[in-house]
Every structure is written in C-alpha cells, then in structure tokens.
Structure 1
Amino acid sequence: MLKNLSIKNFAILDDINLEPAPGLNVFSGETGAGKSIIIEALGFVLGARGGSSLIKEGAGKMSVSASFDSSFIPKNVAAKYNICGPVINIKRELDIKGKGKGWINNTVVPAGALAELGEFLVDFHGQHDHHTLLKTSTHLDLLDKFAKNHKHLEGIALYYNKMRDIMSKIEALHMSKTQKEKLLDLYRFQYKEIMDVNLKPGEDIEIDNALPKLKHSGKLKELAKDAYNLLYEGETAGIDLISKAEKNISEMSELDEALAPVLEEVTSSLRNLEDAAQTLYTYNENIEADPSILDAMLSRQQKINNLKLKYGPEIQDILNNAEIFLKQIESLSYSEEKEQELQQELAEVKEKLMKGCMVLHESRVTAASKLDSLITLEISKLGFNDVKFKTDIIFEEESLGPKGANIVEFLFSPNPGQSLRPLKNIASGGEMSRVMLGLKTVLAGNTPVMVFDEIDAGIGGHTGLLVGQKLKKVSLGKQTLCVTHLAQVAVYGDKHFNVSKTSDKKNTRVTVTQLDSDAKTLEIARMLGSTHGKDSAGFKHAQELIKHSRETA
C-alpha cells in the first residue's frame, strides 16, 4: 500500500504531504482545485512522463516522494534494485532545464526503473481512460492481461520478428546494387558512430554525479588545504591550541577529580579533530584539479548527448539501435546463393509461428468466456438491468502480427431486448465509466493500490451510490484512491481529503485537509449543493447519506 506521498512545487502544489488510509481514500473539492494534479504527481514519481512546464512558477525544480509496502514487488525485481526492507522509498526530481533524477531507496535509477516498479504497485484510471475502451486496439491487450498470456506473447513476438528478419534478408537480395550500397553505407556509418564512442550503461549518470566535483576541484583543493592548515599547521593551529588546553585540564584533573569528564570530552574532541585533519590532508592530496580531466569528461558527455539526440533518450536505446544497424548490415550483405536457404528457414519459422498463434487463440477464447461472465457480474451491480457483455474473437491469418492473428472487440448490451453491439457504438459516458470500473475490478490482479480519477463521470443519484458501494468493496482488498465530484461516492470514504485553492495577485496556494466527521458532513452537503451550514436541509441530507453508506458498506 501507499504509506506516504510528498509533493513539492508540482504544478500549483507547493508542499503537500499525505498519509492515505488502507481502505478507500476520497479526494473532493471545487473544480480546478488541484485534485487530479495529486494523482498526476503520483504517476510522475512512478515513471510517467513529466516536463519542466509542470514545475510551479518561480521554483527551480519539482520533486515527488512516495513510500510503499515492498511485499508486492516480485523477488527478481526486488533483487534487481536491491530492495530488501519492508518499505520501499521512491523519489523523482525534475529541474527547470529538464534534467531529472530518480531514486529507489537512495540509489539513483532511470525513470524506466520507476515505471517498472509502478506496474507492481499502482493501477491508475485517469479522467479520460474510459475512452480507451472506444479503441478496439486496446481490447486485445486487456484480454491478454486477464488471460496472463505474456509467455505466449513472448514466443509469438520472437517468431514473428524472426520471420520479418528473414523476409528482410530475402528482400535485400532482390534490391538493386545501387540501393543496397546506399543503405549499407548508411547503416555502417550509424553503427560505427555508436561503436566508436564505446558506450557503457549507466556512465551518463556517473558523469552527471562526477562533474560538479571536477568543475570545482580547484576551489575544493584550496579550501581543504586551508582547513588542514588551520587545524594542524602553524603556530595557531587549532589542534595545537586544544592540545595545550588538554595538558592544562589534565593537570587540573589530577588536583580535582570533578574535571575528569571535561578532560575526557576534550581528549575525545582532539582525537576527532586529528582524524578530520588527516582526512582533509588525504582529500587534498587525492583531488585532481586538472582542467584536462574536466575537458575530457565534458567532451565525453557531449558525445553521449549527441548520440541520445540521434538514437534514443537512454544509453540502452542507443545500444539497441546499434544491434539493429548491425543486423541490417548482415542482412544486406547476403549473396543470392542464400535465397533458397532463407526461403526454407522462412517456411519453418512461419509454421512454428502459426502453431503458436493457434495455441494463443485457444487461450484467448477460454479466457474471454471467463472474462465475459465476471464483467457481466460486476457491472450488473452498477445499476444495469439485464446487461450483457461479450468478447468477440476472430482468427484471421491476414491480421498476423507480433501479438498473433486475432481481432478482438468488446460487445455490449445495456438494456433488455437490445442486441449486442460494439461498445464504441452503443455506450454512453456514464455506461462507459461503469464498464471500465467493472473491467478494472476484474483485471486488477495483485496490484495493491488502485487509483480512480473521476470514475463516476456521467453518473448520479442511485447509480452513484452503487458505484460508491463497489469502490468500498474494492478497497476492502486493495487500498483505493478516488477523486470524485459525487457525494454519493464520497460518503463511502474511510479517509476524506478536501482539496482547496486560494489565489491572490502574486501566488496560488493549494491546501489538502483531512476532514473529521463534522467537516466531512459539511463537505458532503456542499457536494450536494448546500452552502448553508449545519442547520440546512442539505446538511441533514448529507447525514442521511453517510448513515446509509455505513449500513450498505
């Protein structure tokens, strides 16, 4: 679960600290107050994209920190990032120049590592995510997630890429000599450009960490020398003065035992200062104030940055591209005598690929039947009468790709007597939100934290209460964070946070307040449209809703 979230200078958020409850955490407030920005900040610390435009105006950088229970991280991933304690601390910063850093338990890591951990920690549903259900291309991925088809997909992708590689080699044999030479020249140049730099994974981070010390090595050396001299050298050296004081106090303690503790403290301080002086001496001797080393490192950084601009945002991306260029060089270098051999290899790979696609198809058909039953059951509890949901699967060899040869589409019927039709053609906004809630409930798996940003869009009244009940039930097994404008949902919260915004001519400030019982009732009343305090009908209605939520939770 998420134990703590700290946000500094993120968009309009100055300094926010949250400690969510294990159950259902509700965030409410006026439109534009910053509720969704809190969710965006949580996504940022877990590797989501974030540009310098998100930094609060007037600040030099933004940072987000989060602490999670580490027990949900798989052992191989925990070992990869040296996660061994019960709590994992994650932090990410971005400065105004667009330079960012990430940390896992004080170890610097790339944003991709944060995103990898995030997959096991939080399942997000953003404001507009239910619109992804309108894209049939996402339906296949959702079905595969439910079916846990990742192993099947790895095999299919391996054979598909191998097939494409062989086809590329055959195509190269048919290419004109001029075309082939042009492409060979290009790929050889690109491959050589990367390999000449002799990249090492992680060296860009090492350079970033080393440069500040190198840039100021002269000053550091001078200060270290001065500090050492003040402590150890010269007539007024600090250690000599304290040593004389120690001698005096030693003689005094022989005459008065009450001064023995004072002597002990002075002696200890003297030894510590001697150790510090030795450390400064060694530091001064070892630090290299050599402009040529700094120039070499800056030059190295520039070469790496140039390659990043051309071939990828990270060093691993650049190295991956080098492998691709090498394969293209090898492919274009094949002679015509190889074609028959390649055609035979292609036929064998295609046969294995199609067999794998059939196994994957059968897995999808079996999973679809289970998925349909579970989603129908879940969404039938959300205000639908005789609702139907079905996953339509077609096997089509012409659609063969790295994910197999299936076309998958979700069909939906929200009303009695209505035939099943594509979800994109029939569902309203409110219906889509409820279908997405059902999907998220079924597909969440072992992810310990679920985040819903206005999952109740287009919903109200009694249906809102049903959605609130569903979120409450979800939160019994998973910590849940929910941004909502709907009182019928908010009443089910175990912890209720109000997000408010105040502005003047110079600054905008966002405050997040954990509400007590009375404050929660007033906030529910406001969400119902009442602003007349505890004596209003709206306040009484809010009390009734809260009582109803306790009875139906």
Structure 2
Amino acid sequence: MLYSLHVKNLALIKEQEIEFSKGLNILTGETGAGKSVIIGSINLALGAKADPSLIRTGEEYALVELVFGLENDYQKNFFKDMEIPVEEDDTVVIQRKIMPGRSVSKVCGENVTSRQLKEISNVLINIHGQNDHQELLQKKKHLEILDDYCAASLSPLFDELSTSYKRLKEIESELSKTNIDEDKRLREQELLEYEINEITEANLVEGEDEKLENSYRRMTNSRKISEALSTVTNMTASCDDNESASDMIGRAARELSSVSGFDEELGSLLDQLTDIDNLLSDFNHSLSGYIKDLEFDDEEFKETEDRLNLVNHLKDKYGATIEAVLKSLEDKEKRFEALSDLDSYKNKLSAEYDKTRKEVLNTCKEISDIRQKEGKVLQEKLKEALVDLNFLDVKFEIAINSDENNLSSRGYDDVEFMISTNPGEALRPLDQIASGGELSRIMLALKSVIADRDDISTLIFDEIDAGISGKTAWKVSQKLGQLANEHQIICITHLPQIAAMADTHFMIEKGVDDGRTVTSIYGLDDDSSIKELSRLLGGEVVTDATITNALEMRKMALESKGA
C-alpha cells in the first residue's frame, strides 16, 4: 500500500505531501491543473527518465519521496532477498533527488540502481496509463498477459525451458561450424595446433601474472625502495651512528622498570611498553628480511621481465586473464579434437540436437497445455468482467496457436485476443475492433481479473475513463469500487460517476503564490466532495440542481458498495 507521496520543487509543485488511504482514492481537478504531474512524480520516484527541466525554476533540485507499507510475505521476502533493510513496521521509503546532470535514488536509505528500482516497483505498485491502451493492440502483449495469469504454474517450466533452449541454440551453432570443406578444415586444424602448442608450452599458472607484476614493479623500483628502507632502519633499529626508536623505547622501559615496584598501575604501563618494544623488534626483523630479499641480479630481472611479457602477450591474444587464456585453450582443444574426426563429431552433435530438441518440445507442450487450460478460464472471467463493464453482447476468446517450427525461450505458442462487441459479428483481432473507450474497459477488465492472482496491492489508473460516458461510466465506476475492496486504487478521473465512488477524494488545482503559479492538492471532506461532483456534472456554476444530482449520485455509489 502506498501511504504517502512527498513532492518538492517539481514542475509547478513547490512542496506537497499527500497521504493516501485504503480503498478508492480519486483525484479530480480542472484540465491543466497538474493531475499528470502527480502520476508523473510517482513514476519519477520509481525510476522513470528524469528531465532536469522538471526542476522548479530557481531551485537547485527536485525531490520525490514515496512511503509504502508491505502487506504480504511475497513483498517482505523480496526485500529480504535484496538485502534492503525494511523498517520494523514494514514500511519502505523510496526517495529520488533530481539535480542538473544527475539523480540519486535511495530505498530505505540505501543507494539503488535504476534496474533495482524497477524490480522494486514491480512488486509494490502497478501503474496503468493511457499508453497501456495501445499496448493491448500488440499481440506480444497478449502472450505476456496470459503468462502473468499463469505465472505460478509456468515459472518452473520457463526455467527448465530456458536451460534446454539455450543448449539447443549452442548445438545449432556448433553444427553450423561443421559445414566446412576439407581445405578449410585442414587450415583451421593447423592454426589450432599452433595456438594450442603456444599456450601449452607457456605452462601458465592461475594468479602468476599478479605475482610477476608485483615482482617486476619491486625490481624496477628497487633503488627507491632501498633508500626508503635504509632511512626507516636508521629511525627504528639500533645502530652505532644515532639513537633510534628502538634505543629510546629500551631506555624508557628501563626507567619505568626502576619505579614500577612502587605502584601496580606503573607495572601495567611497563607491560604495555614492553609489548611495544617487542613489536618494534619484530618489525625490524621483518624489515631486515625484506631488505635481504630485495637483492637480485640482472639475470633474475631478465627472467621476470621475459616471463611477464610472455604472459601479457598470451592474455592480449587469447583472453584478458590467465583463467580466460586457459579456458580458450580448453575450447581450442575440443575444436581440434572435433576437426580430427569431423564426421563422428557431427553425428554426435546431431544426436544431441535431436535429444535436446525433443526435451524443448516436451517442455513447450507442457507450457502450451497450461496456457490452453488457463486461457479458457481467463477468457470466461474476462467475458464476465466485460459484461459488468457494459459490453452486453460481447464475445471474447484467447486464441492460442502452436507451431513447433517457431521455438523460443517462451515456448512455441502464438497468442491473440479475439473479440466481438456486436451481436452477429464474427470474432476478430482486438486491433481491428476496439475503439479507445473500449480499450479502456478491456484493460480495466484485465486488471480486475489478474489482480486477484498477483501480490501487488496498489493499482494506479490514469484516466481509465477515456472515451466513455453515461451508463458505461457508471459500470466502470462500480468495477473500480469492487476492485478497491481488495486493493488500494489511485485513480485520476474527470467523470462524476467515477468520482462519486471515492473512499477518499483529492482536489488538484492551480493557483498563484508569491506571484508564481503553483499546483496544489488537498483532501476533500464530504461537503467539498459533493461540490466537486457538482462541478464535474454541470461546469463552473454550481446550482441547486447539480448539488441534488451530486447527492443522488453519491448515494447510489454508497449503495452499490454496500455502505
């Protein structure tokens, strides 16, 4: 559930705090008042592209903050898996600060990437805008909708199919490489033999490049290191020329020892100083050993340099790391072996291809069977929902066509929504039938049916009422009211029929503050809500008649909700 939205310095909004409620939250206002900015700010917080021009003129940044409450185990486990610390009361704070040239997103105080933010938004909220109408006209969207409905059953099968389909494509690629003539095979085999020998003779060891680079760096800087260590030795180790740290600490220990018997606390201090003396002695011993190891001759330097050059040459040629070079060697050896007996290798691949393709087809069949079964259930539910939305004589069908020659990681089905909205008319593809208003209702029907199966508790509708009016608008209003029984709904509308169904009603309006235009939003009480309904019914002039109509409409809405 979305508890609140806080917006600062964004477009025409100076600073606003909106606290949403459960049920149906309705936002109304004049055209151009800034309703789109409210939904736009939520999208921005959830990772939409940020345009610096949205920052309010004269301000250094814009800020959007959302506060969500987690309502089910799926959401809670998701955040636990992402290792994002949620508040003890299961609240999640999403904040985005937009500055010229960059923006910063945080979730519960942790910086997150745009990809993480998208994943998070997908489990918290579902935003339906007017562009989604057009997506319904694309067949690939129909497949996505059906798969979302069947997600619980399909998910493990998709994981299985992804693995086998990937292997199938790899085998296809390998088989294509076997279609070469004899001369080309011999040339490739000869080159592979040279490369295999070049890598093998080097006797590479993982991690040796780092050791070589460290040794080479130490040797080339040996003079500078030696001078620095000589100075350190003079400062810390006992010598005849000057008094060192070791000499001074030793003398200090003797002085402290001479009086330590007078006080137990002095004995403790002496123990600490003795520890320091021992640590310094160990340090000087290690330093002496390092200086001794620093000695090398020209031959050792040349060997190190040559070995490092060889390793870097192989890395430049076969891979960025020794591990990559050794993997390249493994691949080349397999390819060389295959070319040595190409017919046998090709037959082996063909047998594996047939076996893997059979596995892929079997999984695709399982997926298709689930789609066929669940698709019939979904189409009946959608038909019922469409009837509720004033499609009185509607026919709706989810057409699923399978083609074994059209394999992909999602199966081999082609899915298309078919509809007839008039008696006697044949079923035809959605994009050939539906108008803008019909698309709005079909989308609402889809959302209401699928919402029963998902774990997202908050749905936002931006002008779901596009292209509808009258009785149809009332049907849409009732459907939103029903959906709000189980979900939090936030809906922007210009229709009084829908606004009348509000559990919480917000007004968005544009005004002037200190000589500048600002957009503000505030909650309406019952009387103010009736006045706003009257405005939506009759325009700017609110009359007794429009007030009466608004009261009657509100009464009908409450009765339909059982309030």
* TM-score, scaled relative to structure 1: 0.69
> 1:127 and 2:133 equivalent?
no
Alpha-carbon distance in structure 2 between the residues aligned to 1:89 and 1:405: 40
- Asked if the contact 2:66–2:95 (Cα under 8 Å) also holds between the matched residues in 1, the reply is no
Query: CA 1:504 to 1:10, structure 2 compared with 1: closer, same or farther past 3 Å?
Result: closer
Other-structure match for 2:493: 484
Other-structure match for 2:553: 545
Secondary structure in 1 matching 2:130? coil
Query: CA 1:353 to 1:332, structure 2 compared with 1: closer, same or farther past 3 Å?
Result: farther
Secondary structure in 1 matching 2:510? strand
User: How does 1:374-413 map onto structure 2 within 5 Å?
Assistant: 374-413=381-420
Q: For residue 386 of structure 1, report the CA deviation from its aligned partner.
A: 2.2
Query: CA 1:492 to 1:402, structure 2 compared with 1: closer, same or farther past 3 Å?
Result: same
Which of 494, 502, 505 is the aligned partner of 2:511?
502
Other-structure match for 2:34: 34
Query: CA 1:156 to 1:9, structure 2 compared with 1: closer, same or farther past 3 Å?
Result: farther
Which of 147, 157, 168 is the aligned partner of 1:163?
168
Deviations 1:361-400 (A, max 9, x none): 0000001010011111111111121211110000012221
> 1:5 and 2:14 equivalent?
no
Alpha-carbon distance in structure 2 between the residues aligned to 1:171 and 1:83: 52
Identify unmatched segments of 5+ residues in structure 1: 182-197, 199-318
Letter in 2 for 1:552: S
Alpha-carbon distance in structure 1 between the residues aligned to 2:2 and 2:19: 8
Deviations 1:493-520 (A, max 9, x none): 0111111123699743110011112211
Letter in 2 for 1:166: I
Secondary structure in 2 matching 1:485? coil
- Asked if the contact 1:71–1:86 (Cα under 8 Å) also holds between the matched residues in 2, the reply is no
Other-structure match for 2:535: 526
Q: For residue 549 of structure 1, report the CA deviation from its aligned partner.
A: 1.3
Letter in 2 for 1:466: K
Query: CA 1:170 to 1:94, structure 2 compared with 1: closer, same or farther past 3 Å?
Result: farther
Deviations 1:427-478 (A, max 9, x none): 1111111111010011122211111111111110111111111101111110
Alpha-carbon distance in structure 2 between the residues aligned to 1:65 and 1:331: 54
How many pairs are equivalent?
Answer: 414
> 1:118 and 2:127 equivalent?
no
Alpha-carbon distance in structure 1 between the residues aligned to 2:4 and 2:333: 55
Query: CA 1:352 to 1:515, structure 2 compared with 1: closer, same or farther past 3 Å?
Result: same
- Asked if the contact 1:10–1:56 (Cα under 8 Å) also holds between the matched residues in 2, the reply is yes
Q: For residue 331 of structure 1, report the CA deviation from its aligned partner.
A: 9.0
Which of 67, 92, 95 is the aligned partner of 1:92?
95
Letter in 1 for 2:176: E
Secondary structure in 2 matching 1:476? coil
- Asked if the contact 1:47–1:113 (Cα under 8 Å) also holds between the matched residues in 2, the reply is no
Alpha-carbon distance in structure 1 between the residues aligned to 2:332 and 2:547: 74
Letter in 2 for 1:127: Q
> 1:79 and 2:50 equivalent?
no
Letter in 2 for 1:117: I
Alpha-carbon distance in structure 2 between the residues aligned to 1:331 and 1:483: 62
Alpha-carbon distance in structure 2 between the residues aligned to 1:538 and 1:172: 78
Q: For residue 121 of structure 1, report the CA deviation from its aligned partner.
A: 1.4
Q: Which moved more, 1:352-361 or 1:542-551?
A: 542-551
Alpha-carbon distance in structure 1 between the residues aligned to 2:548 and 2:514: 38
Other-structure match for 2:478: 469
User: How does 1:219-238 map onto structure 2 within 5 Å?
Assistant: none
Which of 139, 144, 154 is the aligned partner of 2:159?
154
Other-structure match for 1:227: none
Q: Which moved more, 1:90-99 or 1:354-363?
A: 90-99
Q: For residue 97 of structure 1, report the CA deviation from its aligned partner.
A: 3.8
Secondary structure in 1 matching 2:335? coil
Deviations 1:288-316 (A, max 9, x none): xxxxxxxxxxxxxxxxxxxxxxxxxxxxx
> 1:361 and 2:365 equivalent?
no
- Asked if the contact 1:530–1:539 (Cα under 8 Å) also holds between the matched residues in 2, the reply is no
Alpha-carbon distance in structure 1 between the residues aligned to 2:424 and 2:494: 33
User: How does 1:167-178 map onto structure 2 within 5 Å?
Assistant: 167-174=172-179
User: How does 1:147-546 map onto structure 2 within 5 Å?
Assistant: 147-148=150-151, 149-174=154-179, 334-335=335-336, 336=339, 337=342, 338-444=345-451, 445-502=454-511, 507-533=516-542, 535-546=543-554
Q: Which moved more, 1:105-114 or 1:361-370?
A: 105-114
Alpha-carbon distance in structure 2 between the residues aligned to 1:166 and 1:56: 57
Alpha-carbon distance in structure 1 between the residues aligned to 2:87 and 2:24: 28
Query: CA 1:12 to 1:391, structure 2 compared with 1: closer, same or farther past 3 Å?
Result: same
Q: For residue 351 of structure 1, report the CA deviation from its aligned partner.
A: 1.2
- Asked if the contact 1:25–1:493 (Cα under 8 Å) also holds between the matched residues in 2, the reply is yes
Q: Alignment identity in percent?
A: 31
Query: CA 1:53 to 1:402, structure 2 compared with 1: closer, same or farther past 3 Å?
Result: farther
- Asked if the contact 1:385–1:416 (Cα under 8 Å) also holds between the matched residues in 2, the reply is no
> 1:105 and 2:113 equivalent?
no
Deviations 1:250-285 (A, max 9, x none): xxxxxxxxxxxxxxxxxxxxxxxxxxxxxxxxxxxx
Larger Rg: 2
- Asked if the contact 2:44–2:96 (Cα under 8 Å) also holds between the matched residues in 1, the reply is no
Secondary structure in 1 matching 2:37? helix
Deviations 1:145-202 (A, max 9, x none): 1011222222222222222222233334558799999xxxxxxxxxxxxxxxx9xxxx
Alpha-carbon distance in structure 1 between the residues aligned to 2:5 and 2:370: 40
- Asked if the contact 2:86–2:92 (Cα under 8 Å) also holds between the matched residues in 1, the reply is no
Secondary structure in 1 matching 2:71? helix
Query: CA 1:349 to 1:51, structure 2 compared with 1: closer, same or farther past 3 Å?
Result: farther
> 1:65 and 2:65 equivalent?
yes
Query: CA 1:332 to 1:374, structure 2 compared with 1: closer, same or farther past 3 Å?
Result: farther
Letter in 1 for 2:52: S
Letter in 2 for 1:395: S
Q: For residue 332 of structure 1, report the CA deviation from its aligned partner.
A: 12
Secondary structure in 2 matching 1:452? strand
- Asked if the contact 1:172–1:331 (Cα under 8 Å) also holds between the matched residues in 2, the reply is no
When the two chains are superposed, the root-mean-square deviation of aligned CA atoms in Å is 3.1
Q: For residue 6 of structure 1, report the CA deviation from its aligned partner.
A: 1.0
Secondary structure in 2 matching 1:470? helix
Identify unmatched segments of 5+ residues in structure 2: 192-209, 211-319
- Asked if the contact 1:70–1:85 (Cα under 8 Å) also holds between the matched residues in 2, the reply is no
Alpha-carbon distance in structure 2 between the residues aligned to 1:387 and 1:477: 26
Alpha-carbon distance in structure 2 between the residues aligned to 1:113 and 1:373: 36
